[in-house]
């Protein structure tokens, strides 16, 4: 019999702190909030003033059954509204609350249809690729293969409950549970729905194994869609025994990432370097392959390809630090790094030639920083001087975690340690974090 672990680990954030919370069995909302308050050492009289928000679905965690391993939660205190001064009847307040609840339900449905994407938790911030699509995503919004208005209209026109045709499943059999999962993943992708495969498999006295698969919207919408598969007495050859093939909610608007095939992946690889945004890339791929993938799905696959081509960011950063150390030891270069929890936060460096240039031409400095245009998604601070030919020459580089004043202080203090004489003129833009500090 297959035994699945029931331990679930989630992270809970409050203000600027984040803690890990682990539970092994069913936990109600009261205990969830009480344990969360204890994590952050918050003493309250009324726990009902607090709620836990699930980050991925933007919904309230009313019990542990709503949570999945790896979820990110936020502890939030409710906003109190004084209605004593409002001349509203109780019936009017009830209507407003009901409308507000309908809006929240619609928002949850929209969020659920947006296919989520995650990337590996790598060396950050320097050692992680940009985890936001805004770097390449243009401000102009459009559709994937249909406009959002057309898709929303088609979803509204679709009547509930939605009945799924399962005749193809009735005639098929599978040699083991792994094959069952693999084939049903493909089938679910075509139907634009999902099934929960984490449920524990039961075994009868005669050796028959029973796997009941539920709709992945069961906890959210109370969907009763189920597929019950039973094996023979030897535990092999799974066949569909019975099913409830009706959904009480609308299906996903976009194609599942599980339906990505070789053709689509080749198109992403072909057009990723020639399109201006990931939205445009999704439009091109969907048009070429006659699919309807969300741009986030295309974005995630493009990022995976980038990592395969360019290599692991952690290895790049480690090699970069080794190169700086070697240059400093063998060629009299200069470098400095700042680590936090074994993660590289800031770094700066100068080669021997850059140090010599600064020594002779430090009377005029030009300081500026780019805005996260490199593959590490970090600002690059660049300091240049003007040589005897009237040309600008770089004399200092720094990769920074952010553009706050304390970060500038760190970088420019390192630069100041290499100055032979103070400059007469310093040019910079009007960035407050840079101009407010008396660095030199």
CA 326/CA 395 separation, integer angstroms:
19
Contact call for residues 324 and 347 (beta carbons, < 8 A): yes
Helix axes 262-271, 278-289, angle to 10 degrees: 140
Burial class (CB in 10 A: 0-12, 13-18, 19+), 231: buried
What's the pLDDT at 106? Answer: 54
Cis-peptide, bond into residue 125, ω within 30° of zero: yes
Strand partners, 209: 203
Biggest alpha carbon–alpha carbon distance for the chain: 91
Q: What is the dihedral of CA 350, 353, 359, 361, to 10 degrees?
A: -100
CA 268/CA 342 separation, integer angstroms:
34
What's the pLDDT at 375? Answer: 66
Burial class (CB in 10 A: 0-12, 13-18, 19+), 360: exposed
φ, ψ of residue 260 to 5 degrees: the values are -65, 125
Strand partners, 338: 346
Contact call for residues 404 and 415 (beta carbons, < 8 A): no
CA 81/CA 295 separation, integer angstroms:
39
Q: What is the dihedral of CA 397, 313, 130, 400, to 10 degrees?
A: -30
Contact call for residues 258 and 188 (beta carbons, < 8 A): yes
Q: How close are the terminal C-alpha atoms of the chain, in Å? A: 70
Helix axes 262-271, 295-310, angle to 10 degrees: 70
Per-residue burial over 252-273, b if 16 or more Cβ lie within 10 Å, else e, is: bbbbbbebbeeebbebbeebbe
Helix axes 278-289, 295-310, angle to 10 degrees: 100
φ, ψ of residue 10 to 5 degrees: the values are -125, 165
What length does the chain have?
440
CA 39/CA 41 separation, integer angstroms:
6
Of 200, 194, 226, residue with least CA distance to 213? 226
3-state secondary structure of 79: coil
What's the pLDDT at 138? Answer: 42
120: its two tokens: 């590996």
What's the pLDDT at 415? Answer: 93
Contact call for residues 247 and 225 (beta carbons, < 8 A): yes
Cis-peptide, bond into residue 243, ω within 30° of zero: no
Q: Whole-structure pTM over 0.75, yes or no?
A: no
φ, ψ of residue 410 to 5 degrees: the values are -60, -50
Q: What is the DSSP letter of 136?
A: T
Burial class (CB in 10 A: 0-12, 13-18, 19+), 408: buried
Tell me the C-alpha to C-alpha distance, in Å, between residue 404 and each of 228, 370, 408, 432. Answer: 57, 14, 6, 9
Contact call for residues 377 and 400 (beta carbons, < 8 A): no
CA 180/CA 228 separation, integer angstroms:
12
Its CATH architecture, for the domain 8-113, is: Roll (3.10)
Each residue's pLDDT, cut to its tens digit, for the chain (440 residues) gives: 333 345 788 899 998 889 998 887 788 888 888 888 888 888 887 788 888 988 877 778 888 877 888 888 999 887 544 444 444 444 444 444 555 555 555 555 554 444 433 333 333 344 444 444 444 544 333 433 444 454 444 444 557 888 888 888 988 899 888 888 888 888 888 888 888 876 677 888 888 888 888 888 888 888 889 999 998 888 788 999 989 989 888 888 888 777 788 888 888 888 887 887 888 888 999 999 888 888 888 888 888 887 777 777 677 788 888 999 999 999 999 999 998 877 788 999 999 999 999 999 989 999 998 876 666 778 899 999 999 899 999 999 999 988 888 899 999 999 999 998 888 898 888 777 777 766 65
């Amino acid at each position: 019999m297959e035994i699945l672990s029931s331990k679930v680990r989630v992270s809970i954030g409050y203000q600027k702190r984040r803690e890990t919370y682990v539970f092994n069995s069913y936990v109600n909302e009261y205990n969830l909030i009480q344990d969360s308050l204890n994590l952050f050492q918050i003493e309250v009289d009324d726990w009902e003033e607090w709620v836990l928000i699930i980050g991925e679905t933007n919904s309230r965690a009313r019990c542990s059954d709503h949570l999945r391993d790896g979820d990110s939660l936020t502890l939030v205190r409710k906003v109190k509204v004084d209605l004593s001064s409002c001349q509203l009847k109780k019936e009017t307040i009830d209507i407003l609350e009901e409308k507000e609840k309908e809006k929240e339900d619609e928002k949850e449905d929209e969020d659920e249809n947006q296919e989520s994407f995650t990337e590996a938790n790598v060396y950050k911030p320097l050692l992680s690729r940009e985890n936001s699509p805004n770097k390449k995503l243009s401000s102009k919004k459009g559709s994937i293969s249909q406009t959002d208005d057309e898709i929303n209209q088609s979803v509204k026109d679709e009547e509930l409950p939605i009945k799924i045709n399962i005749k193809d499943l009735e005639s098929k059999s599978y040699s083991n549970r792994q094959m069952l999962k693999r084939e049903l993943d493909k089938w679910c992708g075509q139907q634009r729905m999902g099934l929960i495969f984490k449920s524990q498999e039961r075994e009868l006295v005669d050796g028959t194994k029973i796997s009941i698969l539920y709709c992945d919207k069961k906890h959210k919408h109370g969907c009763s869609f189920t597929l019950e598969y039973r094996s023979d007495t030897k535990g092999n050859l799974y066949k569909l025994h019975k099913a409830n093939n009706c959904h009480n909610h609308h299906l996903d608007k976009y194609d599942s990432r599980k339906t990505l095939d070789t053709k689509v992946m080749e198109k992403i690889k072909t057009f990723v370097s020639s399109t201006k945004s990931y939205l445009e890339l999704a439009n091109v791929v969907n048009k070429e392959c006659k699919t309807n993938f969300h741009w986030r799905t295309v974005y995630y696959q493009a990022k995976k390809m980038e990592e395969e081509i360019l290599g692991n960011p952690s290895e790049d950063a480690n090699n970069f630090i080794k190169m700086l150390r070697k240059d400093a030891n063998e060629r009299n270069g200069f470098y400095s790094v700042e680590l936090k929890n074994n993660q590289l936060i800031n770094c700066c460096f100068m080669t021997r030639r850059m140090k010599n240039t600064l020594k002779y031409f430090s009377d005029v400095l030009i300081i500026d920083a780019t805005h996260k245009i490199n593959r590490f998604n970090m600002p690059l601070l660049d300091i240049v001087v003007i040589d005897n030919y009237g040309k600008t020459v770089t004399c200092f580089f720094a990769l920074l975690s952010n553009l706050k004043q304390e970060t500038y202080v760190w970088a420019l203090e390192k630069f100041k340690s290499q100055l032979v004489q103070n400059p007469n003129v310093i040019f910079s833009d009007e960035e407050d974090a840079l101009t407010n500090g008396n660095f030199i």
